[in-house]
Amino acid sequence: MKKILLTELKLHLREWPALLFVIGLPLGLLLGLGSIPGFGEPDPKTGGESVTTTHLPAMMVILALMTLAFSVLPAVLAAYRERGVLRRMSTTPVHPGKLLTAQLLINLALGVISLFVLVVMGRIVLGITMPKDPLGFVLVFVLGTAALLAMGLVIAAVSRTGKIAQGLGSLIMFPLMFVAGMWIPRELMPSFLRTISDYSVAGPFATALRDTWGGSSPQLLHLIVMVVGLVVFGGLAVRLFRWE
């Protein structure tokens, strides 16, 4: 397992343009948008919070994780199946499930690294506060990431080729980013949109990240939606995934 992890990690590092999207783009956006004058001022429309307090950093964390779950993971796995990598492995004593596990772990690790970079650089450059409820924040982060990766696995399961997976991933990713509040903060959404957001897995994830970042507890509804998402999509992925 160690060797599989190491090899897969090397392969990820060789695909560095994708990593640029996962780590570089959110960081660049955070620092770029965060230094726009006025974004640091308290905004009465969002209850006196400034954009950079929790909204922008949480959105950038979501952007990084969604890129991993909807673009990187499904494309890699579907391509592995398309190219017969999984099939070849099933002729050896080691089950290809180990390869899938390695991919999940690496994507999780990349998510953690991206989070770390965002929090540390945000603090140094923009003076963003550290998450005020660290324990809740970590819990939400792990739960939400797992739910997103489960959705990514379903995409990998139903896509015949790596290219289809990539296309389908983007198709799902952009509406989810929208309802998560990437372009319109949740506070400014009309109520029907906020309701959709509340049940979209990505929406609850983003909101719960912001809540714990700001020091309040995540809403129970949001935690439940994430758990249900993880169970449903995880179960679907297990049922639908084919090794060849």
Partner 1 sequence: MELIEVDSLHKRYRDHVAVENVSFSVREGEIFGILGPNGAGKTTTVECVSGLRTRDGGEIRVDGIDPQRERDRLREILGAQLQSSMLPDKIKVWEAMDLYASFYPDPADWRELLERVGLWEKRDSLFTALSGGQRQRLSVGLALVGRPKVAVLDELTTGLDPQARRDVWELVEQVRANGVTVLLVTHFMEEAERLCDRVAIVDAGKVAAIDTPDGLIAQVGQEQRVRFRPSMPVDEAQLLALPEVAAIERAGGQLIVSGTGNLAPAVTLALAQQRIVPNDLRIEQATLDDAFLALTGKKLAS
Q: Does 84 bind partner 1 (CB under 8 A)?
A: yes
Identify which range of 56-64, 79-87, 107-115, 199-207 contacts partner 1 by CB under 8 A: 79-87
Instruction: Tell me: does residue 17 bind partner 1 (CB under 8 A).
Output: no
Which residue, 105 or 138, is less far from partner 1 as judged by CB?
105
* φ and ψ of 49, to 5 deg: -90, 145
Is 93 a residue that touches partner 1 (CB under 8 A)?
yes
Supply the minimum distance, in Å, between the C-beta of residue 43 and partner 1: 45
* 15 touching partner 1, by CB under 8 A: yes
The interface region with partner 1, picked from 33-41, 60-68, 78-86, 226-234 by CB under 8 A, is: 78-86
| HEC profile of 181-210 | CCCCCHHHCCHHHHHHHHCCCHHHHHHHHH
Question: Is the Cβ of residue 83 or residue 163 nearer to partner 1 in the bound state?
Answer: 83
Helix axes 134-158, 220-240, angle to 10 degrees: 30
Interface residue list for partner 1 (CB under 8 A): 3-4, 7, 10-11, 14-15, 79-80, 83-85, 87-94, 244
